[in-house]
Amino acid sequence: MPVSALVLTLSPDPAEVLCRLSSRSNLHLGELIGDRLPITLESPDVRSAAREIEALAEESGVSHVDLIGAYYEEDL
């Protein structure tokens, strides 16, 4: 399963979006730093990773997504 390292920039009052994100089993949330939230995303295959990242960008309460790394050895 590919692993993606991401930083989400959250809108003001992030409590609700943090609650939603923390309930997802494929996301591991780091500590919120200002309005920036480091996370990792596990995807079932390389095909679905981009769709999931795109969906995160569209998520209410997420204003921006930065990508830091992709690890996909097992999927080649």
Partner 1 sequence: MDRRDFLMASALAAATAAAKGVAAPEPPSIEGVRWAKAPCRFCGTGCHVQVGTKGGKVVAIAGDPKAEVNKGLLCVKGYHVGLALYGKDRLTTPLLRKNGKLTPISWDEAIQKVVERIQLDPKGFAIYGSGQWTIPEGYAANKLVKAALRNNQIDPNARLCMASAVTGFLATYGVDEPAGCYDDLDRCDVLVLWGNNPAEMHPVLFSRVIDRRSRGEKVTIIDIGTRRTRSTGHADHYLEMKPHGDVAIANGILHLLVQRGTYDKEFVERHTAFRAPANPPTLEGAPISFDEFKRRIAEYTPEKVSRLSGISEQDLRLLADLFGNKKLRITSLWCMGMNQHTLGTAINCLVHGVHLFSGHFGRPGDAPTSLTGQPSACGTAREVGTLCHALPGGGVVTNPEHRQHAEAIWNLAAGSVNPKPGYHTVELWKRFSKPKSQGGDIHTIWSMVTNPGQSLPNRNALFDPSRKDPSKFLIVSDVYPTETVRAADLVLPSALWVEKNGMFGNSERRTQQWFKMVPPPGQARDDCWQLLAVARALHEAGFAGTRDKDGQYLFRIVKDGKEVPVWDWRHYYDVNVDEQLFEEYRKFSRAKHKDLAPYQEYVKARGLRWPVVQQANGTWRETRFRFAEFDDPYVAKGKGFDFYHSTSKDGRAQIWFHPYAPPPEVPDAEYPLWLCTGRVLEHWHTGSLTRRIPQLHGAMPAAYVEVHPEDAQRLGVSQGERVVVESRRGKLVVPVWINGRGAPPVGTLFIPFFDETMLVNRVTLEAHDPFSKQPDYKKCAARLRKATAQELTG
Is residue 62 involved in binding partner 1 (CB under 8 A)? no
Residue choice 19, 22, 35, 44 for contact with partner 1 (CB under 8 A): 35
CB 7 within 8 A of CB 58: no
- Residue 24 CB, nearest approach to partner 1 (Å): 14
Name the residues that contact partner 1, by CB under 8 A: 3-7, 9, 28, 30-31, 33-40, 42, 45-51, 53-54, 63-64, 66-73, 76
